[in-house]
Amino acid sequence: MNNVNINLKALNFPDKPGVYLMKDRQNKIIYIGKAKNLRKRINSYFTGSPSPKTNFLVKNIKNIETIITKTEQEALLLENNLIKKWKPKYNIDLKDGKTYPVIRITNEEYPRIFRTRRIIFDGSVYYGPFPSAHQIDTYLKLIDRMFPLRKCRGSLKKKRAHPCLNYYIGRCFSPCTGRISKDEYREMVGKIKSLLSGKASELIRDTRERMLKASRSLNFEEAAVFRDNLSSIKFIMDQQHIIDFSKLSGDYIGYCSSEHIFTFVILQMRDGKLIGREIFNSESYAETEETFLHFIFQYYTEAQNIPSIVYIPELTDSRQATLLSEQLKSSLSGKKLRFIIPKRGKHLQTLKMALENADEYLTSRLSMYKRTEDLAFLKKTLNLPSLPRRIEGFDIAHLSGQYTVASMVSFRNGIPDKDKYRHFKIRSLKGRIDDFEAMREVIARRYTRVINEELDKPDLILVDGGKGQLNAAKQILNSIGLRSVPVAGLAKKNEEIFIPGQSNPIVLEKNSGALRILEQVRDESHRFANSLHGRLRRNSLTSSKLTSIPGIGKIRSKILLEKFKSLDDIGNLSVKEIAEITGFNNLLASTVRDHLLKWHNEKKAE
């Protein structure tokens, strides 16, 4: 039966509520739907201007069968049961997604604050969720500047003799050494909680008064600090979408879709606390709103923690919310579950947060799908044995043969996997300039270790350069028994790709997503190599400067470089503080500080 015949048949379907079953040419059920009016609903698939996903579904339909029910409510129940039984290809298929980050203030004598994706029921306080980790990090950075809580983990029952470096650079008040009382620390934590709850009017007023007092006392540096803190507080208040969750209870469901791909987010609020978040990914070829209603019915007939109220976005037909409530009542042994579409206030704000989370995660999913397509294109173009999910990239950096280093970066599914990055100091050149030999050394060191420690091999090795670098890498791989591991070179001049056994380079279109992945690997390996090279040069210059100070040799110079990030950090401390951190006597600490202040003043004069 072709689609024209199905369309004609649709005109003869009953004008009654019921369920329809769409089948393919193998007579397999591919989609199940319900309708208040079977004739109108089925006919809508073949008339008007259907969406691309509806067109896709219609192309695969070869027959439609119907089951008439007495009421629309019965149709909803039957539809759900049939979907569970037959699991049609184009109906909603739920898959768990990831959770979103929140800010956690720990339940400890001296609490810590940090971001996390795990909710632990130990009395800790949580704020969020946030659509992205970047937004949380912005808040935490500002909060840390105003209220530097401790960074160390564990109990503070046993006091330490000396504070860590964080205390000296103003990033902690050192409760571990008793330099701040418990009450003072708790007061600081309380201010953070007020700020994150949106109750910052008192904090703003207090900070402004302190700023004006410092200014009147001509203490302009302190006034500037309070001014910056005031700007930070206002920034957080303007930017944040954190809700004061007090007294909120219920589930808030947001969703977002693109074509047949859906993401659903459920924020579970109980007595003002966010007790859980669930994210589901699904694919469905039904209309968007119909898919959303399918999801709700399927979720709450299987859910364990069911609230009395569920807040959902606006529906085209608001009667559907009442229908859902009635049908779920019979499925949940009489438990009443109300669906509310909030129009204003906290409930609408919380629902918007769920919708923003759904949009954020769907965007991430679509980006992942696109990267997978680009990796598949690379596999075909470079004739790789498998999809290049893990790519390891290499580059060499030096300055006229000095401080020659190599980098290895790792990409997983087209995304940097920074935990796997490695630096190498090249040992074999001894001042000579030989990029090919440097490439041989780093490839040999890296993949000898891979063999010896039985580490996972990459799906593709990418070297920065042309035929020379490629041949150097391939020569080593062959010699250590890794002939089967694919390797390619990317030359920057014309973005030409070289592969072994092929004399002419491969040139992809400039806007190719596959080329963009290779460029990102190459550019990241270049950046990472230069970061170590620059650090070695700076350390060498700094070390030579430090060893020119009377009483500072190589060992003491190394101690200073390990304890402090820069010479400015040392110069900003008192003699006593330098002595405490380094273990130097006061005379030597004073000598170091005097020389650093002298260099700093000379630098300013320039």
Mean per-residue pLDDT for 542-558? Answer: 78
Largest CA distance in the chain: 101
Instruction: Give the pLDDT of residue 96.
Output: 52
Asked if omega into 129 is within 30° of 0 (cis), the reply is yes
- Give 474-526 pLDDT, tens digit per residue: 999 999 999 999 999 999 878 999 999 888 999 999 889 999 999 999 999 98
Instruction: Give the pLDDT of residue 130.
Output: 60
Mean per-residue pLDDT for 454-465? Answer: 93
- Give 366-422 pLDDT, tens digit per residue: 888 888 899 999 999 999 999 999 999 999 887 665 678 889 999 998 889 888 999
Instruction: Give the pLDDT of residue 392.
Output: 96
Instruction: Give the pLDDT of residue 274.
Output: 60
Mean per-residue pLDDT for 81-89? Answer: 80
- Give 166-192 pLDDT, tens digit per residue: 888 778 888 888 889 999 999 989 888
Say whether pLDDT at 310 is over 50: yes
**Which one is predicted more confidently, 147 or 6?**
147
Say whether pLDDT at 324 is over 80: no
Say whether pLDDT at 242 is over 50: no
Banded pLDDT at 543 (limits 50, 70, 90): low
Q: Which residues touch 363 (CB under 8 Å, ≥6 apart)?
A: none
Backbone angles phi, psi at 264, to 5 degrees: -120, 135
Domains (ranges, CATH) in the chain?
A: 3-91 (3.40.1440.10), 102-239 (no CATH), 250-363 (3.30.420.10), 390-526 (3.30.420.340), 547-605 (1.10.150)
Say whether pLDDT at 102 is over 80: no
CB 10 within 8 A of CB 42: yes
Task: Determine what percent of the chain is predicted with pLDDT higher than 90.
Answer: 21
CB 332 within 8 A of CB 296: no
Instruction: Give the pLDDT of residue 132.
Output: 58
> Of 45-59, 235-249, 294-308, 364-378, which one has max mean pLDDT?
364-378
Instruction: Give the pLDDT of residue 404.
Output: 83
Say whether pLDDT at 230 is over 90: no
Instruction: Give the pLDDT of residue 152.
Output: 86
Model pTM greater than 0.85? no
Alpha-carbon gap, residue 340 to 331, rounded angstroms: 19
Banded pLDDT at 566 (limits 50, 70, 90): low
Alpha-carbon gap, residue 243 to 272, rounded angstroms: 10
Instruction: Give the pLDDT of residue 243.
Output: 46
SS (H, E, C) 441-471: HHHHHHHHHHHHCCCCCCCEEEEECCHHHHH
Alpha-carbon gap, residue 351 to 347, rounded angstroms: 6
**Which one is predicted more confidently, 484 or 558?**
484
Say whether pLDDT at 558 is over 90: no
Structure-token match 């966010």, residue found: 274
Helix and strand numbers (H, E) in the chain are 19, 19
Banded pLDDT at 1 (limits 50, 70, 90): very low
> Of 78-82, 129-133, 168-172, 235-239, which one has max mean pLDDT?
168-172
| Mean pLDDT for all residues in the chain | 81
Alpha-carbon gap, residue 6 to 4, rounded angstroms: 5
- Give 130-153 pLDDT, tens digit per residue: 655 666 787 788 788 888 899 888
Say whether pLDDT at 200 is over 80: no
